[in-house]
Structure 1
Amino acid sequence: MIHLSVVCCGRAVPFLWLVLAHKSAAVGFEEYQPLLRRARWFLRKHPDVMLLADRGFANHQLMSWLQQSRWHYCLRIPCDVILHGPRRCPREVRRLWPSKGEAILYRNVGLWEDGVCRCNLVLANIRGVKEPWAVITDESPTLQTLWQYALRFRVEELFLDSKSGAFELEDSKIRCADALERLYLVAAVALLYSTTHGMAVQIEGLREQVDPHWRRGISYLKIGLRWLKGVVNKGRQLLMPIPLLMNDPQPCFASKKA
């Protein structure tokens, strides 16, 4: 599944997707370019769009497409990518890792063998993380670049909710790509409706009826699902869903262990 989502209030919300019968988890740019084109058309009235993607997606074609589309980006790159600096000989990213707990910022570096693609780079060796990060961006390289890229991990919770956390998508046992794509449409509509319903519960000041924490302790999706179950089983009022919130009125807090 090639998946595009929108990060909103601490979680990712399904936006566009495409299911392929493919031999490998890695897909070429030509496979997901139509999805990007459709996203560009839907977001044509939004001038400030940033694409976040893992290291399997960084390549010449995507970089060229992003520049033509005038989208911002934060992309992680593999440790074997060749870098071209202003003075030094080309070297692999792995040769430049900073010390543990430190980060290094580079401007206007060239990528890959030819060095044609130019961008800014942030290298970080983060405590508590297995592998160092190498993140490229078109914006000024700062520590904020790492926080921007980290928003990409919101999609992991979305996949968890799709597979086992809420909708048990894998239990369908469907192997047909077209059928699975249609089934995910049902899950995506349910995810969106439940999330917006959870936001409506928060705005109406009713959250503590389904989430007893002093502050919000679960996602808006889970709040919405709990409220909708109460509509069916307890006669609660069915609220009017609201548009996705631009700013989170009450960010979710992590447990002490997390």
Structure 2
Amino acid sequence: MPLAWWVEEGAANLGFEPQRELLDKIREWLPTGAAVLLSADRFYGTVELLRYVQRMGWQYRFRLKSNFSVDTGQGELTTTGELAAGCRERYLPQVTLFAEGVPTAIGILHEPGHPEPWIIAMDCPPTRARVLDYGLRWGIEPLFSDLKSRGFELAESHLEQAKRLDKMLLIMALALHWCVRVGWKDQLERPTPLEKKA
């Protein structure tokens, strides 16, 4: 369920400044001492975002592109892709990323049947389970599908103005909330045979 969103006009990649503004706003809403795990796709894993979450003391799981430079402390610089090449699992508790040398841990997992490995930067000693934490963000993907191609067909609205798009998202969030509530109530009151087994 979308609880908050930010609509901005401009290029698809807005850079870190709008991300920082959004994260600062979300920080204001969080209760004091709230634990945060920020998960980001490989298009958002940047030096600035990594430094931001480290400064905030947040947990993080950032999928990395395969062309980021890495210093493992055991020889020459390499790339995240070279670290992942030919291995099914690899865990590096202390590396530095990017030319700026940002410290982090990296977990690499390439499961059978998947075309690419997950190369995940994280705030803690890497393990298989912690790499798989990144999978929590996949709950967002069905939401995007519901708002776009599989449900409300947002692209078909042809809205281009940010204010109008923002209002449309509010309407869709309320509609989605209503759909989920009705479905949940129906599941409780009239479960299917499969739901009864669960």
* TM-score, normalised via structure 1 length: 0.70
Match of 2:19 in 1: 32
Change (3 A) 1:69 1:194: farther
2:55 maps to amino acid: Q
CA contact (8 A) 1:82 1:91 kept: yes
Partner of 1:21: 9
Aligned position for 1:240:
none
Residue 200 of structure 1, CA deviation: 4.2
Question: Which of 109, 116, 129 is the matching residue for 2:95?
Answer: 109
Aligned sequence identity (%): 27
Deviations 1:45-72 (A, max 9, x none): 4622101110111112111211222211
Tell me, yes or no, if the aligned pair for 2:106 and 2:119 is still in contact at 8 Å.
yes
Q: 5+ unaligned residues in a row in structure 2: which ranges? A: none
CA distance in 1, matches of 2:17, 2:60: 19
CA shift in 2, pair 1:46/1:163, >3 Å:
farther
Is contact 1:98-1:124 (8 Å) kept? Answer: no
In the alignment, the residues of structure 2 paired with residue 207 and residue 169 of structure 1 have an alpha-carbon distance, to the nearest angstrom, of 31
Classify 1:197/1:39 alpha carbon distance in 2 versus 1 (closer, same or farther; 3 Å): farther
Task: Tell whether 2:60 aligns with 1:99.
Answer: no
Q: In 2 relative to 1, CA 175–109 (structure 1 residues): closer, same or farther, beyond 3 Å? A: same
Cross-structure match for 1:243:
none
Query: Could you say which residue in structure 2 is the equivalent of 1:126?
Result: 111
> 2 CA distance for matches of 1:103 and 1:207?
44
The runs of 4+ residues in structure 1 deviating greater than 3 Å are 196-202
- In the alignment, structure 1 residue 183 sits paired with structure 2 residue 168: yes
Question: What residue in structure 2 maps to residue 89 of structure 1?
Answer: 76
Name the aligned partner's letter for residue 18 of structure 1: W
Instruction: Measure, in 2, the Cα distance between the counterparts of 1:45 and 1:154.
Output: 26
Question: What is the aligned partner in structure 2 of residue 4 from structure 1?
Answer: none
How many pairs were matched up? 198
SS of equivalent to 1:99: coil
Amino acid across the alignment from 2:194? W
Distance 1:46 1:184, change over 3 A: farther
* Aligned-pair CA distance for 1:197: 4.2
Distance 1:113 1:164 in 2: 39
Counterpart of 1:256 in structure 2 is none
Structure 2: distance between partners of 1:168 and 1:162: 6
State the 1:160 CA deviation.
Answer: 0.7
Q: Which has the higher helix share?
A: 2
Distance of 2:95 and 2:18 partners within structure 1: 28
1:67 corresponds, among 45, 49, 54, to: 54
Which ranges in structure 1 are unaligned for 5 or more consecutive residues? Answer: 1-12, 217-249, 251-258
| Residue from 185, 189, 194 that aligns with 1:214 | 194
Match of 2:119, as an amino acid? A
C-alpha distance after superposition, 1:63-92 (max 9, x if no partner): 121122221100001101011112222111
In the other structure, the counterpart of 1:244 is: none
Q: Give 1:194's match in structure 2, choosing from 157, 176, 179.
A: 179
TM-score for both structures, normalised by structure 2: 0.90
- Deviation at residue 181 of structure 1 after TM alignment: 1.0
What SS does structure 2 have at the residue aligned with 1:191?
helix
